[in-house]
């Protein structure tokens, strides 16, 4: 067995700058390996891909089960009397967390549902255009393409984004695309812009406030895909002022999978309806329509309460600070081991996820044409996983920093990737 495979994730000490007993932004803690007991990872397994599916704490599971058991004790009382007040309480907590009106929030299962909710509610007409970045998440891209396929003369305008770019360059490229479109004077209009706040692959924190303000100055509706945002960077919706926003609570906030929040200002609510029309359609307003999606298990959504409680215990700023610093320092350490670089040289473009270049000599190797080879190798041989992808002519891996990780974990991951790539490059020598 490889020494890398047998690596003990709990053996090394935390890097000095990431170790403390006080949960403050300057001295976060107690984080690192001592947090593992709060999660469900078995011994020898370390999670480096928090960004894809998230994970929740034991206390959040207890919170979820509290709701689950309450339903089973009396399904009629729960469904007919208690569910709606419980959902209002969670929306109230989220509104305080996100600085907005609770009545502008709807609780849904995930970002994909939220995106479909908005796009399939808007009345697109011939000549409408949807502006989007080339880094848009695949499921969101497929939804905008569905809208184009089902509406006459509705098309996508895609802004190519190849990192690294500065914030100014990103805003410039988006605005230039708008101006180029206006110069055509063909009678079409950019009706909606789909903008990632934090793109998925590559993981990049975009200058969202500058983008929102610029797009709205052209009279374009702005839908912010913030799937990765809540729990990773602060959200102030009053300050940001988007037209729509969706974010997954089960990615970075620690709630149970199947919990997200959709922001819809009151000025749009009369035209926005859930993807599954229920008995509350046009009978009681926006809140009623989204408070009941039919018979399903609402305990995952209500687990947001437990996630917010857990985060308060350690401090929101402390969690964000620890994960950001670990992503920056861990990415630099992996790049040093691999003899490469991180994608974004500017730290403010990094949230909790960092992209590290993989020194693969032949990025067109047949083994790499689908993700299956690396997925199986990393999971079966090394009991870990980070997604890899092509961008800008190179292969990269996206690594998620989290409060249960330490710098030594990134060092181990770097050595694993080096072993994998050395073997792959040797085959192509």
Residue 116: which pLDDT band, with cuts at 50, 70 and 90?
A: very high
pLDDT value, residue 152:
98
Q: Do residues 349 and 327 lie in contact, with contact meaning Cβ atoms separated by under 8 Å?
A: no
The average pLDDT across 29-49 equals: 91
Domain 74-310, architecture per CATH: 3-Layer(aba) Sandwich (3.40)
Residue 5: which pLDDT band, with cuts at 50, 70 and 90?
A: low
Q: What is the percentage of the chain residues whose pLDDT exceeds 70?
A: 93
Per-chain mean pLDDT for the chain? 93
Q: What contacts 96, CB < 8 A, 6 or more positions away?
A: none
- Which class is 16-53+315-427 in CATH? alpha beta
pLDDT value, residue 429:
75
pLDDT at 41 over 60: yes
Could you state, in order of their start, the residue ranges of all structural domains in the chain? 16-53+315-427, 74-310
Note the pLDDT tens digit of each residue in 368-381.
988 899 999 999 99
What does the chain come to in residues?
429
pLDDT value, residue 418:
98
Note the pLDDT tens digit of each residue in 395-414.
999 999 999 999 999 999 99
Closest alpha carbon to 307 in 251, 238, 245: 251
Tokens at 35, concatenated: 């947090």
Residue 287: which pLDDT band, with cuts at 50, 70 and 90?
A: confident
pLDDT at 31 over 70: yes
């Amino acid at each position: 067995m490889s020494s890398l495979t047998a690596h003990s994730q709990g053996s090394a000490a935390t890097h000095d700058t990431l170790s403390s007993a006080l949960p403050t932004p300057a001295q976060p803690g107690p984080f690192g390996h001592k947090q593992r007991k709060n999660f469900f990872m078995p011994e020898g397994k370390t999670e480096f891909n928090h960004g894809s599916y998230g994970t929740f704490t034991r206390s959040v599971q207890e919170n979820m089960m509290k709701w689950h058991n309450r339903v089973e004790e009396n399904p009629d009382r729960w469904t007919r009397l208690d569910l709606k007040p419980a959902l209002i309480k969670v929306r109230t907590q989220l509104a305080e967390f996100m600085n907005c009106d609770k009545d502008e929030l709807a609780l849904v299962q995930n970002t994909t549902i939220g995106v479909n909710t908005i796009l399939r509610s808007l009345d697109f007409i011939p000549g409408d255009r949807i502006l989007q970045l080339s880094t848009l998440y695949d499921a969101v891209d497929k939804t905008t393409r569905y809208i184009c396929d089902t509406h006459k003369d509705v098309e996508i305008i895609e802004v190519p984004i190849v990192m690294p770019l500065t914030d100014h360059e990103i805003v410039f490229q988006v605005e230039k695309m708008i101006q180029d479109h206006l110069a055509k004077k063909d009678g079409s209009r950019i009706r909606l812009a789909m903008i990632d706040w934090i793109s998925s692959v590559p993981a990049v924190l975009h200058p969202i406030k500058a983008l929102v303000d610029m797009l709205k100055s052209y009279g374009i509706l702005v839908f912010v895909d913030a799937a990765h945002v809540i729990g990773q960077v602060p959200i102030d919706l009053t300050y940001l002022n988007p037209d729509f926003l969706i974010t997954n609570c089960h990615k970075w906030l620690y709630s149970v999978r199947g919990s997200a929040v959709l922001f819809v200002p009151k000025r749009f609510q009369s035209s926005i309806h859930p993807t599954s029309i229920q008995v509350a359609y046009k009978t009681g307003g926006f809140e009623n329509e989204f408070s009941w999606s039919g018979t399903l298990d609402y305990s995952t959504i209500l687990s947001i309460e437990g996630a917010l409680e857990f985060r308060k215990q350690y401090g929101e700023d402390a969690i964000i600070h620890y994960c950001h610093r670990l992503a920056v320092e861990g990415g630099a350490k992996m790049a040093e081991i691999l003899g490469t670089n991180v994608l974004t040289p500017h730290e403010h473009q990094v949230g909790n996820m960092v992209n590290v270049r993989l020194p693969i000599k032949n990025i067109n190797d047949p083994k790499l044409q689908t993700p299956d080879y690396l997925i199986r190798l990393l999971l079966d041989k090394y009991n870990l996983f980070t997604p890899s992808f092509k961008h800008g002519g190179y292969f990269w891996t996206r690594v998620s920093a989290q409060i249960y990780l330490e710098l030594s974990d990134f060092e181990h991951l770097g050595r694993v990737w080096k072993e994998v790539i050395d073997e792959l490059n040797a085959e192509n020598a």
